[in-house]
Every structure is written in C-alpha cells, then in structure tokens.
Structure 1
Amino acid sequence: MSGAEKSVENHVFEADVARLLHMMVHSVYSDKDVFLRELISNAADACEKLRYEAIGRPELLSEDPSARITLTLDEENGRVVIEDNGIGMSRNDLVEALGTIARSGTRAFMDMVEAAKGKDGAQLIGQFGVGFYSAFMVADRVDVVSRLAGADEAWTWSSDGKGSYTVSQVDLADAPKRGTRVTLHLLEDARTYASRWTVERIVKEQSGHVPVPIDLVEKPGGEASRITDGSALWTRSKSEISKEEYADFYRGISGQYDEPALTVHFRAEGRHEYTALAFVPGSQPFDLFDPDRKGRMKLYVKRVFITDDADLLPRYLRFVRGLVDTADLPLNVSREMIQESPILAAIRKGLTSRVLTSIEKLADNEPETFATLWETFGSVLKEGIYEDYERRSQLLALARFRTTTSEEATRSLADYVKNMKEGQGAIYYLTGGSLAQLKASPQLEGFRARGIEVLLLSDPVDSFWVTSAPDFDGKSLKSITQGAAELADIKKLDGEESKPGDTPPTIANFLAFAKATLGDAVSDVRASDRLTESAVCLVAPEHGPDRQLEKILQGAGRLDSAAKPILEINPDHALVRSIADSGKDEDFRKDAVLLLLDQARVLDGDKPTDPRAFSDRLARIVERALKG
C-alpha cells in the first residue's frame, strides 16, 4: 500500500466552505434523518444516469444490468455504508462534486439540470448535490470510494467536514465493480442510525419509492434483504391497484389505521406533468385543529421524497393525506424555492380542483358516505368559504347544514332554497355555541311560527364565512339576530296574519319608557315580530357583526367595544302587558324593565352585567309581589 500512500492528495475546501457546511448542517436541515434520504437520492440519481448513458453504451452495464442500492449496517463499530452500482465517479468528478459545495448549489448547477431535462428519457440531477453534506450531521468522518462505469481505476475521497479532504487512488479489489460506496463513521450520539429498525423505518418513510430497489444488510458479511422494490404505487394504473393496496398505502403514508373515505389518484399532463395520490381519511387526524393548520401532503420529485411541508393544498383541505410526484422540479431545489415556485402553484391549483371535484362526485353518487365525510371534516371545509374566493360558490354548494326542520340530518343550500316560503327573500341563519343552545333561542320563535327554515350554525368558523358569502342562488344570507326580522309579509302557520304597526297605546308608552330607562345600555327598544313565546330578546343592529361574531371577536381581543344591542319586546306577551298595564309606581316599572334586559342577556347566553344589582332588583320584585 506504499504506492497508494504516495498518491494521497490533500485538498482544502474552497473559500467559505466551513460556513456553508455549518449552514447546511444547522440551518438547511432541521431533521437529522434527512441525511439518509439525501444519500439514497444521490445513489438513485447515479443509477438513473447510468441507465441513460447505457442507452448509447450498453457495455457500461456489463454483467450487472439491474440497478440497486445496498445499505450495510455495522452497529458494533458505529458505521453505515450506502453503496450503489450506478455511473460512479472519476478522480476529477470526486474533486468537482465533493470538494466544492458552492458549485453544487449555484445557478450554474441549476442551469445544467434544466438543460438536461430537455433530453429524451433523461432524469438527471448530477451524482451529488449539496445534500451530500448532510452526512456530517451524523458522522465525524465520511469516506467515499467510487469507480466510474467502464473505467479501470478507482478513487477514494475522505473528510471530517472541517475544512479539508483527501483524494487517493485505491486498488480495484477495494472498490465497487461500478458505482459509489459512501461510509459514514457515526458520531456517538448518532449510533442509533446503525440499527436495522431505525434505518428501515427511515427508508420506508422517506425513500420507499425511489426508482431503484434498496437492499439492507444488517451486519457486515450478512445476507441482503430487499426492503423496497423500486416501484411506486402511484405510477401504476388505477385499474391495476386494489382497494386493499390503496388502503395499505394510505395507512403507511398517513400514520392512521382507519379506512380512507375517498381516494383521488390521477396523472396530470400538459404544461405541467405530475401524478397525485390523495386520500380523505375516514376519521379526524389528531392534528386537524393545530393552530398552524398545516397540510400533510408529501412532495416527491422523480419518486424521491423532498418534503412533507410543501404548500400543495389550501389549509381548509389540510386533512387530506397523500403525495404529489413531479419531474418538473430539480431534486436539490431548496425548500424556500419550492414554496415560491410557479410550478408548485400550478400543481396546487390542479390538485385542489381535483380533490373538490371528487368530493362533489361522492356527494352525488354516495350521499351516505359523503354525509359521514362532512360530519368529520365539514367544519374545516367551511374555512374555505371564508378564505377561497375563487371556489366559494363551489364550497357553498357542497356544504351541508343542520336546520330547524332537518332533525338530525343535514341539508344543502339548494335544498333550503327549494323550500323557501312565499315572500321570503333571504336564507336565514342563527350562529351559536351548540345546537341545543341554538334550538332554544327566542329569536327562532317568529320563524318557527311561520314554518321558515333557519340554518343552525354551531361551528366557530360559521360566524366568519357567513360574512364572506353574500348570496347563494341569488338569495342573500341573513342572521336572525341582526336587524329587523322582516316577517310581517309571511303568514303564520295558524293562518293568523301579522299586524305591523298595530301596537296598543299602553304598549307604545311602555316601549318609550323602557328606552328612556335603559338609556345607553341599548341602542333601541322596539316591538318584535320575531317573538311569539318569549317576552324579550336581544338583536344586533342592521350593520356590523351579528351577536355571535361580536362575542367571538371580543373574546379574541379583536373588538374594543361591542355595538349597543337592540332590545326587542314581545307586545303580545302576558308579562309585558301586565307590566305595561300595571298601576305600580315608577320604581317598580324601572326594576321590571332592567330585569327584562337581564332576562334577554341570559337567553342570549350571557350573564347580567351587574349580578348584585340584578339580585337586588329581583328581591324587590318578589317582595312587592308577596305583599300583593
């Protein structure tokens, strides 16, 4: 080996390499597991490049035509070896590819990739990109031995990643017959990466569908076992894939154990080509309501996993699990460039449309399955009505709601519009915290008396999307807790007609007295045509947020002061008539009016603003009643 020792070349990394290495290890990659993905990606690229070169030079494949990647573990000595039988590298390739971080990631490299894309059948990125250096996150030394296909010499590259590297020629007996062998000498706190369980998990999760089979050797000299076969489920025709295969793949990619409620598998062709395989889960993922509302779709480039943090679907479809595989992006594209890519924007638009269209078809063809899907994810899908102006009408048509007439079932807005009453000009809704609270709301009484259907909206997002949906099928949406009820022109179910303006003088005087008594506590006091059973209720002014949205905004600190509510009084209620007709003194009437306001607050889900004053007034009223 003395001749080999004499041929050792010492090199210093190009300027700023230490800083770039530091950035690579500590900034670009936050997850150390990624090193294995990157090295497998590089190995797969080398195999793909050989496949392309062998089209013109079939002798390069010699007696070993089948591409493969072999991972050999040495847990005892803390080593991991990643070997491929791809194109391999010459001495100059090693120096150029591994000695220069800057060139690997610069515009020149990207231009080369773009130029290569134009070649028929080419899937070339280059043997090593900047991802190779992620190996130094887990290793204190990396050795690379490579033999270029068709060459009669082999070379080794070695470095600790701290500023220099060596290159030397090695005996052919110590090198692969063709391709590259990367040996990682693991850091003490990274020795778990030499265990079969860890490596197999990472490979199946992140590299299970690279276009090259991967074998695993558990210890040096052991038998190789195949852990991935180099095929990708999503590249197969839908007619060739069974429901069970889809379900198994879904469970693997989602980490869930249920059955998918909907599978969307398609290949887009045209300006941008990509394959998508997406699943709507059968149950809610545990992170569905995480504050960041991030999706969990994976992005692959040429069957190599890139990231599960790409913005592939809008946030209101974050429950969808699956992947997109495209050849239109370079493998070593940065995460930042992915997010800003116009290619990704086009993919996002196409994927979103296909997912929503598939959900629409499910609603038409399998209403019971869709009903379960909506029950599970409807509250999230409704975020899109608020956020996605382009698809607002589509989402509104897709939405389902519980109403005052639907019992436990749900109904579409199209169903609602078909059953609107003669003279009804709006789609009425009521928002609140729970269905039970909504069904007990006094504001419903006048609508129920006329058989007018009201949407019961109990999801927090409901208070927001209704403000962004001005109409459906030409009908506006109107809160029954805001503004005038406009019910006078609609007959009651018992045939009794409303008599607007027919307010007895005693009631009119009482309304004026109540308004003067309450002063700034309310913006108005008026007779109600929406109350038939309760004495009072509160409603919001015509303009601004309705009662529920106002509460949500105040609770979130986004509304400094609420608008003064309107107190509506039922002029036909026995209690109201008794107070109005009573000859009691003014103090009694004031107490009665203030108690009516507190009663309205309680019916609205609030508390009296001054509990002590409320208690004192109630005691005085009861005491007077007992005295006769």
Structure 2
Amino acid sequence: MTTTATQNPAENHVFEADVARLLHMMVHSLYSDRDVFLRELISNAADACEKLRFEAIATPTLLADDTDSRITLSLDEEKRQLVVEDNGIGMSRDELIEGLGTIARSGTRAFMERIEANKAGDGAQLIGQFGVGFYSCFMVAERVDVASRRAGADEVWLWSSDGKGSYSVGPTDMADAPARGTRITVHLMEDAKTYTSRWSVERIVKEQSGHVPVPITMVEKRGAEPIQLTDGTALWTRSKNDISTEDYTDFYRGISGQYDEPALTVHFKAEGRHEYTALAFVPGSQPFDMFDPDRKGRIKLYVRRVFITGDTELMPRYLRFVRGLVDTPDLPLNVSREMIQASPVLSAMRKGITTRIITAIEKLAESDQDAFIKFWENFGPVVKEGIYEDFERRLQLMALSRFRTTVSNDGYRSLSDYVKDTKPDQSAIYYLAGNSLDQLKASPQLEGFRARGIEVLLLTDSIDSFWVMNAPEFDGKTFKSITQGAADLAQFAKPDEEAGMKSETSADVQRFIAFARNTLADQVSDVRASDRLTESAVCLVAPEEGYDRQMEKILQSAGRLQSVAKPILEVNFEHPLVKGIAAQADSSSLREDAALLLLDQARILDGDKPADPRAFAERLTRVFQRALES
C-alpha cells in the first residue's frame, strides 16, 4: 500500500552544523554566478542516472521498463517555477535527510567510496564530490521542494525548505513525484524569474551542461511537447576517425563564438599517470579579445563532461588565442568547483596541452608554408611573448618565429635562414626595432649594413624590444641592436673595398665634430664619426650600456623610465653637407646653428620631434637667410 501524507505527516528538522550561517556563506560567497545552480542540479541528476546504471548491473529489475536515462526541465512562468526531473536512482527518506539535511555530506562521495570498496567503479562517471552544489539553488529560490522515489521502492518522499535553517521531510502522493527518480521544484524569487524563460535556460544548459552523459529535454509550458536540448553525447569523447572536418568546424564555432574555420585542430587523449582529453583549435582569424590587457586564455575546463570554469590558465598566456576545452576525471576541485586547487594534475595538463599545440604549429610550418604564414601574421606578435616569458620553450619558439628583414622583400625569414646567410666572422644577429615597417626601412642606421649586404631584422611589434633582451643567443649568435653602441662595421667590406679599410676623416671635419661635441654636451653624451651612415648626414644611437632607442621610448611612454640616457650623435664624415659646414671655419655662429640643426634632423629621422620647435624654426630661417645672401 502506498504511504500518504495524511497517514504520516511531514517531520520538521533543523539543518546540522549551523546551517543558517553556512547557507548564507554558500549563497552569497561561494558562487560568483547565479547561473551555476542549474548546472549543479543537472550534475546531480546525471549522477543519479549513473548510480542507477551501476546498481542495475547487479539488479536489472531496478530499470523496469524505463531503461533510457533522461533529465527533463519544465518551465512555469506564471507560477515562477523551474522543475528539474530525472529518472535516476532516487532517494529514500533516510537518504533525503542524510544527503540534503547535512552540509557537505555528499551521497555521491559516499557512493564513490562504496565503489572503491567493491573495486568495481571503473565506469562510473560521477561528478559531485562535496555535497554542497544542491544548495546553490537557494541563490534564486524562495523555496525548494524535492520529491523522490528510490528505484524499486513504493514510498514517495517530499523534502522541502526555504534555506533559512530548517527543512521538512514527509511522505507524499505518487502523483507528486516521478515513477522513479527525483523531481526538484525551484520556487523562484521575483528577481530570478528569467529562469523560466526558454532562451535563458537553453543558453545555460548548452553552455554549461551541454555534454553531460544524459540527454536533456525541456518542456516550455504545461502541455507542450518536450524540446531536446542535448543528446547526451560529447564530441571530444568520440574517436577522431569518426569525426568529420565539418563536425570539428561546427563545434569550434559553437565554443569560440567565431564564424571562421579553424587553422589547426588538436584532439588527443592523455592516459597514464594523469588522464584527460583535450580538444583545441587555433582560429583562422584573430579573436576580438586577443590583445585584451588581462591576456586571459579561453580554454574551458570540464570534469566528466560537466563544465566547471572557463577562467583557468590551462595554457600559457602567449597561446591565449587558442580555443577549446579539457575534460578530466582526475582534477581535485574546491567545494564551489569554480576555483581549482593547486595540483600536479593541472600542471601536467598545462604542459601536455602546450606541447601538443606548439608541435602542431611546427608541423604546419613544415608542411604548408602559406598556411603557416597566415597563422604567423595573425598570431606571431602573441607567440613572441613566449620567448620573453617561457624559458623552457624559448629556443623552440625562436626557431618557430618569422621576421621581416632587409633582404626578405615582402616575405618572411626565420632565424635559421638568417644564421645560414651571415657574413664570415659575423658574431651577431642585428636588429632594428620601431613602430612601423616603412619607418624602419627608411632609418639611417640601416645604411651601412645595407651597403655591406648585412641582413638586419626589422622588428615592429612592441614585444620585440623585450624578448631580444631576454634571448641570449640563437645558434651561437647574440642579438645586437643597430641603434645601440658602435656598429663595428669596418670588419665587413663594402662591394668596392677591402675588409678592414677605413676612410680617413679630414682635419676640418674632425674640428667640426669636436666643436659639435662641446656645443651639444648638454643634449648628447658624445659626437663621433660614423661607419654606419652612407647616405644620411647624421643619426642617433644609444650608448653601449642600457637600452636601445626603441626600448627607451617604450619604457618612457609607459612611465617606467623617468629619464633616458643621453644619446650619441653620429656624423657621416663623408657627407657633402657635413664637409661643407666643416669648411666654414670662419663662422662659429653658422657652425653652432648647423650642429643644433643636425641634432634635430637626427631626432626627426628617429621618429621624434625637435627638442625646441621654435628654436629649430629660427635656426632654419637664419641658415636660409645666410644662403640667400651669399
């Protein structure tokens, strides 16, 4: 005979362990997003179905005629109710009291202990570990009713609470509960009625529970036909041989929110000490948030196909453009599932996924140059951050990197290409950093290198100025900025001269350089004859110690450098203008104006402005007037 509520009235109980305080903490502090309550209820329902599947191995009659697991969500906007129902194992009266009446006492955890004791739990895909996920529904609920019937039992029990310190448990009519399993009715608060909206619920389910191993359907309103939201499968659990390119592309678009096609797909399962499955995509175009200052990754973490968080650093930040997910049964979580404990499992996953992604990019570089160049143009500036940040993979990333150079024309060159074509006795990889390729190509500092056929890397990304300082060498060659220190180009012959030859500086030019050194002493650290200039009259370089010119500008604009070192003014002693000025020995006023104008000219060529625009204009006027008068 079925027990009724009239025969056995509901019993009132007080939550254990000072529940009023604990519930307040969980509702207001444990979770940062109210949407997670639905994820937690669905996870519990999936666990219940998995428990039934396990117990039915020994007792097949528990399934009766209802062999297919399912989870059903029912919406009632008028009554402000959301119902989550499953046909899983269900709960008896004692299990309701033990599982829902005691904080942090998880039926799932106890069940796992049972399985381990029996050494028969290899296939049990269970999610919950701490028994508090259920209580997250009180973030949105005025009251929660849980009607449950355990598989194989006749009694139906109703657990009810407003989450404020007490609950009731009593029998209820069979009509108020499923034939088997659990029906949770969430009576929503006024400000939570959006959870009766089909579109809100559908979005949350697909985003956070779209791959639980039990199909989920939704009944939008009373009497409506069920709508299937998920089919209980997960793409990443299938064999790669069974997944088409179209399947991968559709999944990528869903998980990334982009509508391009992935440039690379990396899908693998790691087994052994740590077990996890990863499905990652390199996008075919730049994600809109690639240069977000927070530099956060977008790899989602799942535990047994249930979404846990999208805010965990599962890959280094220089691979933040990668989209995808990782699913593991091994990762320990804290009670809220939102913050992952420091764990060797997480470290192993991070290392394994990163290695697979970089290896896939390397294979692309070897197999399809055009596709790789497209990848590099999209993500090269970010990948180079790894040279600065990832010491373990620094050489690997340097070998992967591509650069515009003075000999690459419109193409790219690798560092291996550069080293292979270096001059005899060339010990450095020369580079020039700046803001734009056109500006760099026109830089006067390049003239002497170009004249001698020495290749120079043209670096236009802001990260370039940082990684070249951190990279000690590549294939035995150190990195040297051509805007810092002496160029030492005399050892390399121009096409029309022998190596080691050095032009003599005339006495007039030597006197003018000495005059300029004295006149400009407050603004430059030195004035010297240059072997790097062949066409321009002057250029600025940084001293040997400290930062190069571009790095100084970056640090100063970021407020990280209060004052820059005085630059060195290099003078092309063979330039007709310099020789002409030097010959005007009788006019100190002209030489002074000329020295200051040459310094401002060097600043302009370096992308800066004259130190004093008005004084610059006045000097220029005086020089013009002198020229017109002569």
- Give TM-score scaled by structure 1 length: 0.95
1:187 aligned to 2:156? no
Partner of 1:159: 161
Change (3 A) 1:33 1:337: closer
Residue number among 58, 62, 65 corresponding to 1:63 in the alignment: 65
1:251-400 equivalences in 2 (<5 Å): 251-330=253-332, 333-335=335-337, 338=340, 340-400=342-402
1:555 aligned to 2:561? no
Stretches of structure 1 that go unaligned for 5 or more consecutive residues are: none
Q: Is the 8 A contact 1:113 1:125 kept in 2?
A: no
One-letter code of the match for 2:551? L
Q: Is the 8 A contact 1:46 1:127 kept in 2?
A: no
Partner of 2:547: 545
Q: Which moved more, 1:284-293 or 1:14-23?
A: 14-23
Question: C-alpha distance in 2, partners of 1:3/1:190?
Answer: 31
Report the Cα offset of residue 108 of structure 1: 9.4
Report the Cα offset of residue 81 of structure 1: 0.7
Q: Is the 8 A contact 2:127 2:306 kept in 1?
A: no
Question: C-alpha distance in 2, partners of 1:104/1:518?
Answer: 79
Partner of 2:214: 212
Residue number among 414, 418, 421 corresponding to 1:419 in the alignment: 421
Partner of 1:408: 410
Q: Is the 8 A contact 2:218 2:228 kept in 1?
A: yes
One-letter code of the match for 1:154? V
Change (3 A) 1:114 1:477: farther
Question: C-alpha distance in 2, partners of 1:436/1:125?
Answer: 57
Q: Is the 8 A contact 1:306 1:331 kept in 2?
A: no
Q: Secondary structure at the match of 1:322?
A: strand
Report the Cα offset of residue 221 of structure 1: 2.8
Report the Cα offset of residue 112 of structure 1: 8.6
For these two proteins, the number of residue pairs brought into alignment is 628
Change (3 A) 1:172 1:109: closer
Q: Is the 8 A contact 2:445 2:483 kept in 1?
A: yes
The CA deviation string for residues 213-264 of structure 1, in whole angstroms up to 9 with x for no partner, is 1111121232223221111100111111000000000000001111111100
Partner of 1:522: 524
Q: Which moved more, 1:332-341 or 1:347-356?
A: 332-341
Q: Secondary structure at the match of 2:595?
A: helix
Stretches of structure 2 that go unaligned for 5 or more consecutive residues are: none
Q: Which moved more, 1:521-530 or 1:275-284?
A: 521-530
Residue number among 450, 453, 456 corresponding to 1:451 in the alignment: 453
Report the Cα offset of residue 286 of structure 1: 0.9
Q: Secondary structure at the match of 1:471?
A: coil
Q: Which moved more, 1:113-122 or 1:254-263?
A: 113-122
1:478 aligned to 2:480? yes
One-letter code of the match for 1:266? F
The CA deviation string for residues 579-621 of structure 1, in whole angstroms up to 9 with x for no partner, is 1111332222111111111111111111111222222222222
The CA deviation string for residues 364-414 of structure 1, in whole angstroms up to 9 with x for no partner, is 111111110110011111111100000001100111111111122111111
Change (3 A) 1:260 1:106: closer
Question: C-alpha distance in 2, partners of 1:365/1:381?
Answer: 19
Q: Secondary structure at the match of 2:200?
A: helix
Residue number among 607, 615, 618 corresponding to 1:616 in the alignment: 618
1:101-250 equivalences in 2 (<5 Å): 101-104=103-106, 119-125=121-127, 129-250=131-252
Question: C-alpha distance in 2, partners of 1:106/1:175?
Answer: 21
1:503 aligned to 2:470? no
The CA deviation string for residues 249-295 of structure 1, in whole angstroms up to 9 with x for no partner, is 00000011111111000011111011000000111111111111101
One-letter code of the match for 1:198? S
Question: C-alpha distance in 2, partners of 1:146/1:127?
Answer: 21
Change (3 A) 1:481 1:232: same
Change (3 A) 1:344 1:195: same
Change (3 A) 1:167 1:83: same
Q: Which moved more, 1:503-512 or 1:401-410?
A: 503-512
Q: Is the 8 A contact 2:76 2:196 kept in 1?
A: yes
Partner of 1:465: 467
Question: C-alpha distance in 1, partners of 2:583/2:7?
Answer: 114
Q: Secondary structure at the match of 2:247?
A: helix
Report the Cα offset of residue 502 of structure 1: 2.5
Q: Is the 8 A contact 1:141 1:160 kept in 2?
A: yes
Q: Which moved more, 1:256-265 or 1:32-41?
A: 32-41
Report the Cα offset of residue 34 of structure 1: 1.5
Q: Which moved more, 1:203-212 or 1:4-13?
A: 4-13
Question: C-alpha distance in 1, partners of 2:130/2:336?
Answer: 15
Question: C-alpha distance in 1, partners of 2:124/2:12?
Answer: 35
Q: Which moved more, 1:537-546 or 1:487-496?
A: 487-496
Report the Cα offset of residue 103 of structure 1: 3.7
One-letter code of the match for 1:160? D
Residue number among 38, 49, 52 corresponding to 1:50 in the alignment: 52
Q: Is the 8 A contact 1:103 1:109 kept in 2?
A: no
Report the Cα offset of residue 346 of structure 1: 0.8
Q: Secondary structure at the match of 2:255?
A: helix
Q: Which moved more, 1:540-549 or 1:248-257?
A: 540-549
Question: C-alpha distance in 1, partners of 2:432/2:620?
Answer: 30
Change (3 A) 1:408 1:28: farther
Question: C-alpha distance in 2, partners of 1:57/1:105?
Answer: 20
Report the Cα offset of residue 22 of structure 1: 2.6
Question: C-alpha distance in 1, partners of 2:208/2:558?
Answer: 40
Q: Secondary structure at the match of 1:101?
A: coil
Change (3 A) 1:529 1:504: same
One-letter code of the match for 1:11? H
Q: Is the 8 A contact 1:116 1:124 kept in 2?
A: no
Question: C-alpha distance in 1, partners of 2:399/2:348?
Answer: 24
- Identity over aligned residues, as a percent? 72
Q: Is the 8 A contact 2:318 2:383 kept in 1?
A: yes
C-alpha RMSD over aligned residues: 2.3
Change (3 A) 1:627 1:113: farther
The CA deviation string for residues 107-135 of structure 1, in whole angstroms up to 9 with x for no partner, is 99998999899832233345982121221
Question: C-alpha distance in 1, partners of 2:112/2:438?
Answer: 60
Change (3 A) 1:351 1:105: farther
Q: Secondary structure at the match of 2:152?
A: coil
Q: Is the 8 A contact 2:133 2:336 kept in 1?
A: no
Question: C-alpha distance in 1, partners of 2:119/2:588?
Answer: 89
